[in-house]
Amino acid sequence: MKTHLLPRAAHLILPAALLLIIPARAAASDAPQVTPDGLTLVEKSKADLVYVRSGVSFAGYKKLMLVEPTIAFRKNWQTDQKFQNPSNPVSDADMAKMIDMGKKVLVEEFAEALTKAGYTFVAERGADVLAIKPQILDLDVGVPDPDNSIGSYKKVYTDDPGDATMVIELYDSVTGQLLARAFDRTTAEYNSFNRRTERTQQTNLQDAHYVTREWARMLVKGLERAKAAKTP
């Protein structure tokens, strides 16, 4: 089923000043119980941190609207890459290309997981439509290969493929009210053995698909729990 990807809608996106950024792997015990925008911390969750608006029921949402995702690299990531590899620096165009590819991977994996879970994607707002806004923050790709040149004349190995923070926000599509926000910091390292792996554009894409697929599955399970939960 085709996923309708909407442009950035002001009524669905929090102002940047209100976006609560949680440090990587922050313990729930150290996190605020209530956010400035009125969400309450969920004590037990699969993600690092989950906040939900008290008194909200998710049972009535049958359809989904996927708002255009955003991806932001870690601050100074490009400068650090230029320092580490001055002969082949990452350009602004390279970063834009990587962001576009990341958005494509994210949409594909989220659409597949949520469609398999029985959800229908729509482009129109409605009382039974839940808007989903995915954001990848602090993206840190260990060995970028935007021009797909690694492997053609050299090999690069590392045991640190990179990491990123996923922030997923859920909104009522009619009112634009923020209903929930989840944070999860993860690494792309999923090999069973602690060994250095050759990095190429292909392995980076494989890692991106794997990590995004896990986030999508986490969202599906979270929605199932939220829809089954009693309203606080």
Q: How far apart are CA 190 and CA 160, in angstroms?
A: 11
Q: Which among 194, 173, 178, 56 has a CA at the least distance from the CA of 123?
A: 173
Q: Is the confidence at residue 227, as pLDDT, over 90?
A: no
**Which range, of 14-18, 77-81, 88-92, 146-150, averages the lowest pLDDT?**
14-18
**How high is the pLDDT of residue 230?**
65
110: left (phi over 0), alpha (psi -120 to 50) or beta: alpha
In the 3-class helix/strand/coil scheme, how is 188-226 assigned residue by residue?
A: CCCCCCCCCEECCHHHHHHHHHHHHHHHHHHHHHHHHHH
Mean pLDDT (whole number) for 187-213: 72
Q: Which among 49, 25, 24, 45 has a CA at the least distance from the CA of 35?
A: 49
**How high is the pLDDT of residue 151?**
56
In this structure, what token pair is assigned to residue 11? 């009524």
| pLDDT level of residue 11 (50, 70, 90 thresholds) | very low
The model carries a pTM of: 0.80
The residues, ordered by sequence, that sit 6+ positions from 99 with a Cβ below 8 Å of its Cβ are: 71
In this structure, what token pair is assigned to residue 33? 């119980």
Q: Is the confidence at residue 83, as pLDDT, over 90?
A: no
**How high is the pLDDT of residue 196?**
60
Q: Which among 171, 172, 169 has a CA at the least distance from the CA of 182?
A: 169
| pLDDT level of residue 13 (50, 70, 90 thresholds) | very low
User: How far, in Å, are 82, 83, 90, 146 from residue 87 at the CA level?
Assistant: 8, 9, 10, 15
Q: How far apart are CA 196 and CA 4, in angstroms?
A: 39
